Amino acid sequence: MNCHSSKEFEGLPVKISDYTSSVQPTWCGGCGNYGIWSALKRALIALQIPPQDVLLCFDIGCNGNMSDKIEGYRIHTLHGRVLPVASAAKIANPKLKVLAFAGDGATYSEGIGHFVNTLRNNYPISFFIHDNGNYGLTTGQASATSPQCAPRTANPEGPTASTLNPLQLSLSLQPAFLAQGFSGDIEQLTEIMIAAIKQQEHGLAVTNILQACPTYNKETSHEWYQQHIFDINYKGDHDVQDLKSAQAAAAKQPDKYPTGIIYKTSEVVNYMDRLVHRQGDWREWDLAKEVRSVDTSMLQKQFQ
């Protein structure tokens, strides 16, 4: 993968400072959100997207606390609900680059119905899951991705439900784009985010980000992940268009965690392309401008 160094951004019209908020981060020292935050800004700059052209949609939790630590149009929604809000915003204004962020609690528990149906609909947005294996902001309860052996607040004996494999779940739902990143590998995550944002031209991009939570997740720490991840794209022998290979990679968890682009297909039709009654390329739609008074007299004739 290419490395986007800070120097590479010098002299470009859209600068890191355009995304710099005056509000200081409040995350714990060593929190994986710093890495995600950094990769996000780098990806936006690499793509030269001005803050006016993005809608960053946040769920509730430590990830959502990013909403005022970055510039751009932002909406901080409710727990588990970021996907329908973000998808609808994209439908209303496809020119916006819509990026949605949520934790593992929001994605794989509170909002799992939205996650499943967002994949089924293939709404053309980029979705990033801050998967830190617990509910950090509510002081460390078990999430669907907490390891089995790990005691958690409210589950001192360990989780009472099986651990969910996010990659396998996504792959069962015909994802147009599935990637996994690691908060400790900012360079790789930047590249993944760039690809995920570009994917919006075609459909949904889902990226699960393995995120260190030094305060509550002692089992899968930054160092632990460093020893258990492998870059699936590194050797160049992984066919991202082959579902079986992707499934095999996903099945390696929890022993080994593949990172990089796991799966990508152009065979899944996105939601907008399914709207056959709409005129023109959806990428040019602007449903805000379509709002105008409509004469309904012709439609009333059927009632006479």
Partner 1 sequence: MQSRFSIKIVGASGQGINSIGEILAKSIKRCGFCVVAYREYPSLIKGGHASYQIDFSARQISGSTKKIDLLLVLNRQRTNWHLDELKPGGIILHDIPGPRINAEEAEKMRSLKVKIAYIPAHEIASANGGNIIMSNIVSLGYLWKLLKLDMSVIETVVSEVFGDKPKYLPTNIACMKAGVAYQSGRKPTWESRLSQPGEIDTGENDLLHLNGEEMLLKYFKLAPNAEHRDKLLINGNEAISLGAISAGVRIHFAYPMTPSSSILTFLANAAEQTGMIVKQVEDEITASAMALGAMHAGTRALTATSGGGFDLMSEHISLSGILETPMVVVLAQRPGPATGLPTWTAQGDLQLAISAAHGEFPRCVISCSDATNAYSLIQESFNIAETYQIPVILLTDKLLAESAFTVSPLTQNLPIDRGLVPSGEKRFLLSEDGVSPRWLPGSPGKTYNANSDEHDEVGNVTEAAGMSAAMMEKRMRKLTKLQDSLPEQKLYFNDVDLSSASKKISLIGWGSTLTTVLDVMEELARKNVKVDYLDVTHLWPLPVKQIREYIDSASNLCIIEGNFTGQFEQIIRMETGLSIPHHIRRYDGRPFFVDELAAQISSIFDIK
**Cα dist from 192 to 39, 127, 291, whole Å:** 9, 12, 36
Q: Which of residues 99-138 bind partner 1 (CB under 8 A)?
A: 113-114, 116-117
Give yes or no for residue 65 binding partner 1 (CB under 8 A): yes
Tell whether residue 149 is a contact of partner 1 (CB under 8 A): no
With CB under 8 A as the contact rule, the residue among 38, 93, 245, 265 that binds partner 1 is 93
Contact between 89 and partner 1 per CB under 8 A: yes
Q: Which is nearer to partner 1, 149 or 299 (CB)?
A: 299
Reading the block at residue 86, the tokens are 């973000």
Establish if 299 lies at the interface with partner 1 (CB under 8 A): yes
CA-to-CA distance for 246 and 262, rounded, in angstroms?
A: 6
CA atoms within 13 A on the CB side of 144: 18
Contact status: 84 vs partner 1 (CB under 8 A): yes
d(CA 118, CA 113): 8
Binding residue (CB under 8 A) for partner 1 from 35, 46, 63, 87: 87
| Residue 296 binds to partner 1 (criterion: CB under 8 A) | yes
Nearer to partner 1, 96 or 171 (CB): 96
Residue 41 contacts partner 1 per CB under 8 A: no
Number of residues in contact with partner 1, rule: CB under 8 A? 55
Nearest CB to partner 1, comparing residues 40 and 186: 40
Under rule CB under 8 A, residue 72 binds partner 1:
yes
CB of 274 to partner 1, least distance (A): 10
Q: Which is nearer to partner 1, 91 or 261 (CB)?
A: 91
Q: Per CB under 8 A, which of residues 220..279 are in contact with partner 1?
A: 275, 277-279
Map the footprint of partner 1 across residues 44-63, applying CB under 8 A: 51-53, 55, 57, 60
283 touches partner 1 (CB under 8 A): no
Contact status: 92 vs partner 1 (CB under 8 A): yes
Q: How far is the CB of 298 from partner 1 (least distance, A)?
A: 8
User: Helices 33-46 and 186-198 meet at what angle, rounded to 10?
Assistant: 50
Question: Between residues 79 and 198, which has the closer beta carbon with respect to partner 1?
Answer: 79
- With binding defined as CB under 8 A, does residue 95 bind partner 1? yes
By CB under 8 A, name the binding residues for partner 1: 21, 23, 51-53, 55, 57, 60, 65, 67-68, 71-78, 81, 84-93, 95-96, 113-114, 116-117, 275, 277-279, 287-288, 290-300, 303-304
